[in-house]
Structures are given as structure tokens and as C-alpha cells.
Structure 1
Amino acid sequence: MSSTEIQRSEERALELLGGEPDDATLRRFLHGLPGVDAVGLEQRAASLGTRSIKTTSKAWALDKIISLIDLTTLEGADTPGKVRSLVAKALTPDAGDPTCPRVAAVCVYGDMVPSAIEALGAAHGDPDDGLVSVAAVATAFPSGRASLDIKLADTAEAVADGADEIDMVIDRGAFLAGRYHLVFEQIARVKQACRRADGTYASLKVILETGELNTYDNVKRASWLAILAGGDFIKTSTGKVSPAATLPVTLLMLEVVRDWHRLTGERIGVKPAGGIRTSKDAIKYLVTVAETVGEEWLQPHLFRFGASSLLNDVLRQRQKLATGHYAGADYVTID
């Protein structure tokens, strides 16, 4: 994203808010949003989750899931060697099948960014072009509890080291206390810290940690707040808190993204993360995306899965399909 695009996004946000993003203005806007019908939302999500998928579409769906995965290692014991192994898996998910696509990105702690970039070599780049991005978690991940100066330095260092994407966490305590301007300002400042030397920006994913927001109304408000402040993606979870991603919460976030696009023409990405472990579950998310915002969102710069174990199940299902296990069935149930 360029400086001009950033400026236009900021102007759209101010126009929608009808004033500067102080606590009073943000509260008026966020609490003026229609309330979420929890029963209706969960029924829609359940309905989308029961869709069948044709055998002829299954291979496409499995490959699509792989191409949208952020393969992740976020442990205190991470080493350059572990990151190199992660990158090897990202580049060649199935060593026995050269037709298997690469994942979209590897997601690591900021100090592991140089190791990831070195391991990727010429394959480092835009996942929309079949290459693999490097995403770095930042801003005192996973708690988000640090001073703004530390959060900005954390972000700027990862970007300077070559991170293509920054996954930041909001201060949930501040949000739940109604300190909306503080959360808005931190997201906006982190976005500025994503600026590269050439004037372009690393993509910013804003992690809401929906499992700590308690209500669907709060998830909706936090989604709007993150987009208004300049987030390129809204992301459900760190993967460190339960519940993490759920289909109703992701559906709600997709509806916010849909409404933002209708108002502004701008497309914002969505990333469910944590707890999506099977192909069966992942396909439910693909269907939900296609039915809510459209199939054009099913590309890496607009939708991702944050996962560490999902890939293994997708590869298992892919191998079963290749052996003809599902031959003769028009529709399949993924186990």
C-alpha cells in the first residue's frame, strides 16, 4: 500500500466518523451501530457449515486452503533451525507431489524474520504470485500490554528486517474500558510504523482476540474500529486464548468487511486464526467467505487461515483424493 492510499483511507474514516477520532466521536459511531442478532448470526453460520461440496470441487478447495494458510510457529523455544524447517514445509508441503501449492506466508516472531527471509530465498514475495510472504507478530504479542513506544519499535524493527506483514494485537483492556481513542491511535501509529524506506507499507493485520471481547457487539465494534484506524486485515485471535476462531465470529467480521466495502469501495482482509484444524472445518470458512463477501475474497491478500496443524489434515485429505478413495461419489463428506 502506498502513502496516497493510506491518506485516502484516513480521509474515508474521518468522513464516516463525522469528526476527529476522539473518545466521544468513536463512542457515538461504534455504539450507534445496529446490535448483533446473536441467534440469527449463529443460525446463518450453522447453515453455511452444512453445505455439501462436489467431488469435482474438493480438489480445488483443498488446494485453495493450502494457498491461504499462514504457517505459524510462535513459541518461546523457536530457533533459526526450526524456522528453516517451517519454511521448507511452506515451500514444499507435500514432498511427494510437486503440484501441491505453497502456503501464503510463514508467521514468526520479529527476531526470526531474517532467518525466514534467508530460508525462503528467491521464493520470498507476494503470495498472489505464488511466492511466500513473511509475517511477523508485533506489539507485545500476545498480550498487547506494553508502552506505545515499545510497540512501535517492535513493529519498525520487523519491517526494517523485511517483514511483509505485521500481525499486531489490540489492547483489549483499553477497548473493554471504552478507551476507544487509545486503541484507534495505537493502530494508526502502528500502521505508520509499517512504512518502508521506499514509501510503501507492510500489510497490517489487527488481532482483536475475540475470545476476550465477550460479546458479538464488541467484536463488531472492534472490527469497525480496527478498519477505521487503518488495518488492512482484521484477525480473530492470537491462537493463545480460547475460544479462538469460530465460524459465527468470522461470519460477523466478514459482514463488517462487506459493509465497509459497500460504503467505501475498499476491500479489507479477514484472518480467522486458532482452532481450525481440519479440512472439513476450513471448507466451512471458504463457503462462508464466498457467500458473504464473494469469491473474489478467496485470495491471499484478502483471506488467510492462521494455523499450524491444519496443513497436515489438508495434505492427508488431498492424498486420499488422489488415490481414488472417494471415486464414484458425486458429493463427499470430508472426515
Structure 2
Amino acid sequence: MSLRVVAPGEAHAAHKRNPGFPLDLDWVERVRMNRSALERRAATLPARRTVKKDWQIAWLLKAVTFIDLTTLNSDDTPGRVERLCAKARNPLRREIVEGLGVANLDIHPGAVCVYHSFVKTAVDALEGTNIPVAAVSTAFPHGLAPVETKIKEIEASVADGAKEIDIVIERGMVLTGDWQGLYDQVRAFRKACGEAHIKTILGTGELATLTNVAKASLVCMMAGADFIKTSTGKEKVNANLPTSLAMIRMIRWFAEETGIEIGYKPAGGIATAKLALDYMALMKEELGTHWLQPHLFRFGASSLLTDIERQLEHGLTGHYAADYRQPMV
């Protein structure tokens, strides 16, 4: 299972952005997900798909480019954001990069993700790099605010330099089947984003069923979402493999029907290199190696990079380092 490491800033020439499509309620109503079947399929993955030795190092280097390096805490400060951006500039310690002979690959995370208040701080700290800043908007994490307020927040983040906007849907619209309302909101958010790419956070742990998750995924894609994302990281249940499988299969179905490729972002609780590899294997099996590029796959994570760096050092030296040798901020 070979992978080519591509820098996050490398554009995919053939990729066409999702223009959005009219809401097709007949299609939405045809969507059904079998939870038991999805859980059985997901449970087989970790045992069947593993990578070892040099292949594992290659996959982990690739995984770094998928990370949206994130800080979304109530006690965030400009200093913390600046330190996170410094880590984004140099995600792996120099001795690891040089020891593995990968300095020429210019490996960086997919983005740095912060609250709107810190977008300008992050943009300034990342000046001169190709690392985009992503802002969580639309009343993150609950999504419960007037639409006009949420649109103004998106516009403010874009004005400050955010290239990606992670919006939050109103879960109640999914639970009550208000697909038109959900579509209209996401369509309005997409318009407010302009050239910035939009990731729609579904809050899957609060949507009750995997069929609801799949329907919400489809409606957001119809409305113009560039990515669909599992969670804010603040819910009791965040990303998991069965939910990911449901969303990925909707991405595949959408691509088959429209020819448009939508990105996928699991978020919340992805803290180990092993789990990251499981998600990558799932993407490869369901969508193909083509989808394993930063413009189509991301991890929403804050501590994942620490474990990846530990695993890479182990691959280089044969020893595991303490976490404090790979401080995040």
C-alpha cells in the first residue's frame, strides 16, 4: 500500500470545487444506513489492514500532512496560537527529519485551526508558508445563533485571512427532518465563504442514527460543502469508524452521481498514530488512494502529532521518547 507524500500547499490540478446542486429530497429519502453492517465492516479493518516498518514511516509522514493542527480551548491566548503555528512550521524535530532523509519533502500539516478571535494572529504567524488558517465559525460548537450573526462571523474570519471555514450545522434541523432549512443555511454559509473552502461539521454523536448522519451529509454536499466533518470535538461521542464509513459512502455516492469529489474530516478523539492509520486505510479501501491528499482528507486533532512524532522517532532509533520531547505548545 504505497503512498506519495504531497505538501499541503500543492494544488491538485484536476480537482473541481463543489458548485452546489439543487436540493433533491427524493434522493435524501432514499438514503438508508444499516448500523450493524457498518459496524461489522469497520470492526474488521484494524485487523486486516496494517503497515509495518518503512511503510509505516511513510504512512505516518503522510498523516502529518492531513492534520488540521487545532487549539479550540476557552483559555486560548495569542501566545498559545503563535506557538501552535511555530509547531506547524516545523512539525517534526530536525533530527527526525534529517535522520529519515525527508527534509526535501517539506512536510507540514494541512492547516492550523483556531477560533475567529485568533485568525489574524495565526495568519501573521504563518506568513511566508503555504499553510492555511481554518476558522471555526457559526456559533461553534453548538451552532445556535441567528443566521445573520453566523454569516457575519464567517465574513469576518475570511476578511482576517482564513482560507477555510469550519461551520456547525443546527442538529435540530436533522432531528426534525428540516432538510430544506439545513440546505438553505449551508448554502448561505457557502456564499459567505467566497473563495474560502467550507467544512460542514455535523455533530454526528448528536444525530441519533447513522441514516440521519448520511442524510445530513448528502444535504450539506448538495448545498456546496467542500468537506463534511464528523464533530466539533466537544460532543460526548465524536469520530468513530462506523460513522466515518457512513459518511464516506455518501461521499462516494455523491461523486458517482455528480462527478464532484468531496473531502472528509474526522475530528475528536483521534490521538494515536495507530488510529490515524486505521482511518487512512478506511479511506484507501472505500475511496481509493486518490482521496489520500490534503485537499480531500484531514484529521481534526490537537494531540495526534505528538504520537506520530514519537512513532517516527521509534522507527528511527528503536526507542520510544517521552511525550515532553515533542511538545505541542
TM range (shorter): 0.7 to 0.9
The answer for the alignment partner of 1:184 in structure 2 is 183
The answer for the alignment partner of 2:52 in structure 1 is 54
Q: CA deviation at 1:39?
A: 1.5
The answer for the alignment partner of 2:8 in structure 1 is none
Deviations 1:38-97 (A, max 9, x none): 111111111122222132211111101111000100112211111100001111122333
Query: Of 86, 104, 113, which residue of structure 2 is paired with 1:107?
Result: 113
**Which shifted more, 86-95 or 203-212?**
86-95
Distance in 2, Cα, partners of 1:36 & 1:95: 43
The answer for the alignment partner of 1:319 in structure 2 is 313
**Which shifted more, 101-110 or 163-172?**
101-110
Distance in 2, Cα, partners of 1:81 & 1:88: 10
Q: CA deviation at 1:29?
A: 3.1
Query: Of 274, 293, 303, which residue of structure 2 is paired with 1:280?
Result: 274
The answer for the alignment partner of 1:332 in structure 2 is none
- Percent identical among aligned pairs is 44
Distance in 2, Cα, partners of 1:64 & 1:207: 24
The answer for the alignment partner of 1:41 in structure 2 is 38
Aligned pair count reads 297
1:231 aligns with 2:225: yes
Query: Of 249, 252, 273, which residue of structure 2 is paired with 1:255?
Result: 249
Q: CA deviation at 1:143?
A: 0.3
Contact conserved, 2:92 with 2:309, CA < 8 A, in 1? yes
Distance in 2, Cα, partners of 1:323 & 1:104: 27
Q: CA deviation at 1:325?
A: 5.4
Distance in 1, Cα, partners of 2:132 & 2:153: 19
The answer for the alignment partner of 1:167 in structure 2 is 166
Letter in 1 for 2:71: T
The answer for the alignment partner of 1:86 in structure 2 is 84
Letter in 1 for 2:50: S
SS at match of 1:29: helix
SS at match of 1:306: strand
Structure 1: gaps of 5 or more residues: 15-20, 126-131, 196-200, 327-335
Distance in 2, Cα, partners of 1:43 & 1:276: 20
Distance in 2, Cα, partners of 1:48 & 1:288: 7
Letter in 1 for 2:27: F
Distance in 2, Cα, partners of 1:95 & 1:320: 13
Q: CA deviation at 1:299?
A: 0.8
Deviations 1:277-303 (A, max 9, x none): 101111000000000001111111100
CA RMSD of superposed structures (Å) = 1.7
Query: Of 59, 65, 68, which residue of structure 2 is paired with 1:70?
Result: 68
SS at match of 1:107: strand
Distance in 2, Cα, partners of 1:161 & 1:325: 43
SS at match of 2:278: helix
Q: Which aligned pairs between 1:105-144 and structure 2 lie closer than 5 A?
A: 105-123=111-129, 125=130, 132-144=131-143
The answer for the alignment partner of 2:150 in structure 1 is 151
Q: CA deviation at 1:177?
A: 1.4
Letter in 1 for 2:112: V
Query: Of 287, 291, 302, which residue of structure 2 is paired with 1:293?
Result: 287
Deviations 1:72-129 (A, max 9, x none): 0011221111110000111112233343721111000112111001101101x3xxxx
